[in-house]
Structure 1
Amino acid sequence: MKISLKKCHFAYSELKELGHVVSGLHLGIDKSKVAEVLLKPIHQTDGLGERIIQTLEDMTRRFCAYGLEFKYSDGFTHDWCKLIPALGLAYETSIHSSPGKTPAMLEKGWNPRLPHKALKKELVDIYPTASSLKLMLDKARHHANRCMQDSFKYEKERWDKSNEPLGFKIGNLILVSTLNFNNIKGPKKLKDAFSGLFMIKALHGPNAVQLELTGELMNKHQTFPVSLIKPYSSSEKEVFSLRNEPPLEIPPLEEGEEKKIEKVLKERRTRKKKKGNTL
């Protein structure tokens, strides 16, 4: 089986947790290893991998959406299509909080150093094109760093908002999801999404609780994950016990003569089908 390394992109084994996708063409990896990876089923990522993928997508959209352009003094123009490698360079040279290292350091053992960083400030004679190149790379790098930091901040706020601890306490009243219960009476389509009320008897860390089950769920296991329960919110009558609701007034029915049908506009007669007879 012939495999083109130019079209083969796969997750490098040592960098799966970082979510990097590298090309076998630049790494010089054996073709048999590339074929072995391609024959495997689609890799299922965990929550951390999904979060990193969303961050990379948002970072790329931010870099491309603002239409970054740079024009040389000679009149040549470079748009975001040519400057997008600066985004990958900014990501590879940024220190991540989990490993405490840059992705380039974890992958290659060294951080890339561009030629424009080697220019000395005390030089007097600098070619204008080299100075423009350095200015272009600096602007692209600053724009990429800003897009990357905004993406990290946005994904962190979104993650923290959707994963806030509910803060259950012993004695709280909660409702339990009936998603995995098959012994509840009645048709499945009319089954309630949550059942309760139940009281929390003990806490098993921030992710599980032990309940005091009653009724149809008495024989079930008493420990439930936090994802299958939700806090019970009291009704307005229990919270505002002194609030009085006005009684409903039903108007009396009008007594009148029975109306008679004067004319039938449309009529259709049908007969039941009997054995041996046809309509």
Structure 2
Amino acid sequence: MLGTKLEFSTAYHTQKDVLAERMIQTMEDILRRHSTTGKTPALVEKGWNPLLPVDHFKKNLLTIHPTAKDFHEMWKRAYDKASKCIAEAREYNKQRWDKSHMQPDFKEGDQVLVSTLNFNNIKRPKKMRDSFVGPFNIIKLLGKNAVEVKLTEEFSRKHPVFPVSLVKPYFQSEEDKFPSRKKNPTPPKIVEVEESPGPVKEIIKVRNIRLNGKDQRQYFIRFKHQTADKDKWLAEDAIPHGNFHLRSSRASRRTENSHQ
């Protein structure tokens, strides 16, 4: 259509038409100089754009096949339907989320329940523990995302500041409808976990005792960097890294028995 002819030489230098190479270099320079104007070089320099090959075709001769037109209309309807469904799903999900995640309007002095999600020292299995404990009074509002509450004595070792995502309003039960329900649920007891004196040095001896109606095996433990008065009897599950030390102790006893 344009009267061009391709003449390849090698893969590293495919052009052989020197005139075309020079024209391309000139066009690159012209386009670079006129790229900031957003207009073609011909329009800037001459005031008109040259005709393209497609401009030589008469527009009234270009017709669209009926099948292509039907396909375009079908695709347009499917696209509009998909866009509408996506927008409706987005709005539905937003309403569902906002319904269960409304920002609570807390005030100082309000009673709230606190989630036990991060309460690791409650003496109760995780399945059986209460999801929320309280009620506690709000002492201070720390912005819109956190509150400070007045904890009871059982939870005095916990930090009193909680995010609003772990706090919910407390509504007192109506006595006439729920006469057997307690007004204030008793919070669970906090178990004081005794810190270990340090890493285990050796297991000195073993004993079997009866504790709470059950047989229990205990081990007399000596700790590293501690004196003998710090030795204590511990159950197997209370020994730090108990599996490792118990295997070592059993292996040493078997060695002693084999030498006797």
**Smaller-chain TM-score range?**
0.3 to 0.5
Larger radius of gyration: 2
- Structure with greater proportional strand content: 2
